[in-house]
Amino acid sequence: MAKQLRLDVAQLTDVGRKREHNEDNMAYVIPKDMQVMAKKGALFIVADGMGGHAAGEVASEIAVDTVSNAFYQDDSEDVATSLVYAIKRANALIHQRAAENMLRSGMGTTCVAAVLRGSTAYIANVGDSRAYFVRSGQVKQISQDHSWVAEQVRAGLLTDDQARTHAQRNVITRCLGTQADVDIDVFSEQLEEGDSLVLCTDGLSGLVSDDEIRRIIDQYVPQESVYHLIERANENGGPDNITAIVMRVIEVGVEPPGVRRPVGVGGRETGEDTAVLGMQPGIPARSLDGRIPSAPLHYTSGPLPSIADSITAPQPVLAPPARRTTRFVYPTIAICILLVIALLGTGAIYFLHSRTSTGPDQSIQQARTLIFQAQGEVSTNPALALQHLAHAQTLLRALPTSSLTAAQRANVNSLSQGGLTTTVKQAITNYNQQAAITFLPCSNGTPASNTINDGSTNTSPQAISAVQGSKGTMFYALGHDNNLYQISDQFGLLNRLTVPTGTQVLGVAGDANHLYLLMAQPNKGRKGYSIGLVLPGQSTIKTTVPITNASIQNGQLIPTLITAWGADLYVVLAPASSSSNSGGTELILDYTVGTGNSNTLSANSTNTPISTSTSIASVTAYPGRQLFLLLADGEVQNVQLSTPHPASISVLVQHTVTTPLLLNHQAISSGTYSAGMTVPTAPSATQAANGNNSLTVLGAAALTA
């Protein structure tokens, strides 16, 4: 008897650590009938759904169920043709379901499927779910990602390393269900005993390197390797659902005689009915519109047995009787040739028309897909949602409005004015809430109150400081015009401080009795720097002390920040040539302030150099000559100047400090955003957590983030 293909298979799916629902789906079918196994082979499929209102779960379930049934119902012995046919049936059904239910509009799913028959593996994929081939300690990605970054890599615009961490790495350019038709890539690989094949969603491939996948597959049997693969993805953050099927070839079978290989990408178009495929007998009925119950580390112990059991053995085909040539043969051939020429001409016209007219439609559809993707991310990762929304807005704005059809313009306006704007506002709100960003005054949330300005000035504050005066606490604001203002009870700017002509206020700090200004003024063709002391309630500077330092004179360092506590006033000098995110060696100047009612400021300072990995964004003082530094990357560090050789030490906080969303250099809230504005984006789509402990400071209570 001919050798039969024997496999060791395991599959596993996990919701991950960030998502509430599992929108992935998977299945495999290994026919028990030897004739069916020899003719059609064993089928494996993984799908990653997308779309709001549980639509992603529905789309991936339809894909898995339809492909699993349609593949074995197709009579063709050409595996690639049957596989493409089954996937196209799934695409048509998902597209139909989306059109029937407005809540499912735009739903879709990726799909990667493999059929192992005899000594050959046939792989088909749509989207960015992947197929890996592992042999003799080597791993190879078989499938081709249909994603924006993958296209950039293939075009030579991005490297593989850049693509792995790119902000747009989750944007796919092809999926099942969003359009009436879909292109499918098909590949084939020859099998050998000991080979392994892995099908997985991007929740695994995006978090676990190819080499790590190879190491786990080589080290463990499939039942164990699926657990280790998903465990490793969760250890690396688990931001998405994670699904994997692992197949190991125990024995290679024999291909049927006259087998055909895949000849290229794509598949046949079928003219058959695309009605809903019925479930096979014995399979429990499931509502395709309902949610799939999911739980962490849900394991499916075996294939879909009822499908295999219900397939009958192929019946013999009788050869058709020979037909006699008649006198009508040649005229018929001539007519057929004319019809073929006419069809080719019509097809060419249609092809040229579609090439020129589907560009805007593809951009509109891609923008719609990005918006739906962002709607699923807006509650868990608003920063990433904003990046996808910004990409969608870029696609819509790039469309040539004058050449669009009325329907296309209506779609663009609907997306821009509706889903895009609404989702951006929701993402901004969630981002600010998660980052603990509050707009002043806190008691009033109207857009007009988001700036401290009563109309008497044309600026808004960039820094606020408080001091104790005879009438209680007084607040001062440094405006974006580099002038200092006192803040009124109605949160307006008034009583502009009088400073020498040409002087700019760069920073402001206060303690119990004094207000300190970091100032810059022209000095013989170059800037000079000084510190000003102001008494509470006064509108003029009481004392001015120049900042004299050799590093300033030779242009290496410039004063950037100021803070005070008790009898100490600190000025931070940063490298003059550094960028906003680069680090280096900073210099901290420590000035002595007169205690009690003494309104004196020492002209001399002690100098302490420190080194940081990135530039210092903000600084605050603490008793015992301690400083807390907020770095440009959101990290918090502590410096104790009382030690002989002070160094900056990282503070263990729950999360790094998130950068505010800016639009035209102004922090933005959902109330101030409107349709037509550019979508604001955060510098990073993720917030790095560097611990959940607190820092105990000598003589103080524990500080937490």
User: Tens digits of per-residue pLDDT, 188-212?
Assistant: 999 999 999 999 999 999 899 999 9
Residue 356 has pLDDT above 60, yes or no: no
- The model's confidence at residue 445, banded by pLDDT at 50, 70 and 90, is very low
Lowest mean pLDDT among 162-176, 203-217, 488-502, 522-536: 488-502
Lowest mean pLDDT among 140-154, 298-312, 464-478: 298-312
pLDDT value of residue 1: 52
pLDDT value of residue 458: 66
Tell me the range of 302-306, 310-314, 315-319, 540-544 where mean pLDDT is highest.
540-544
pLDDT value of residue 579: 47
Residue 186 has pLDDT above 60, yes or no: yes
Element spanning 509, H or E: strand 504-510
Query: Who has greater pLDDT, 334 or 699?
Result: 334
pLDDT value of residue 79: 94
Residues ≥6 apart with Cβ < 8 Å to 248: 7, 8, 9, 194, 195, 196, 221, 222
Mean pLDDT value across residues 279-297: 31
Residues ≥6 apart with Cβ < 8 Å to 344: none
- The model's confidence at residue 282, banded by pLDDT at 50, 70 and 90, is very low
Mean pLDDT value across residues 216-221: 95
Residue 573 has pLDDT above 50, yes or no: yes
Residue 448 has pLDDT above 50, yes or no: no
User: Tens digits of per-residue pLDDT, 83-100?
Assistant: 999 999 999 999 998 888
pLDDT value of residue 491: 61
Q: β-strand 666-667 against 584-593: which pairing, if any?
A: unpaired
Q: How far apart are CA 657 and CA 75, in angstroms?
A: 60
Query: Who has greater pLDDT, 310 or 156?
Result: 156
Distances, alpha carbon 74 to alpha carbons 39, 80, 278, 317, 452, in Å: 11, 11, 14, 16, 70
Q: Give the other-Cβ count within 10 Å of 633's Cβ.
A: 18
Residue 166 has pLDDT above 90, yes or no: no
- Return the DSSP state at 447: G
Mean pLDDT value across residues 201-228: 94
- The model's confidence at residue 130, banded by pLDDT at 50, 70 and 90, is very high
Q: Is the dihedral of CA 68, 72, 75, 80 positive or negative?
A: positive
Residue 561 has pLDDT above 50, yes or no: yes
Residue 305 has pLDDT above 70, yes or no: no
Lowest mean pLDDT among 106-110, 284-288, 330-334, 473-477: 284-288
Alpha helices in 398-438 (DSSP H): 406-414, 421-434
Task: Provide the mean pLDDT of the chain.
Answer: 76
Residue 442 has pLDDT above 60, yes or no: no
Residue 306 has pLDDT above 60, yes or no: no
User: Tens digits of per-residue pLDDT, 321-349?
Assistant: 334 444 455 666 777 777 777 666 655 54
Residue bearing tokens 């803040």: 487
Query: Who has greater pLDDT, 69 or 544?
Result: 69
pLDDT value of residue 211: 93
Element spanning 50, H or E: strand 42-50
Residue bearing tokens 């000991």: 194
pLDDT value of residue 298: 32
Lowest mean pLDDT among 48-62, 138-152, 230-244: 48-62
Tell me the range of 482-491, 630-639, 688-697 where mean pLDDT is highest.
630-639
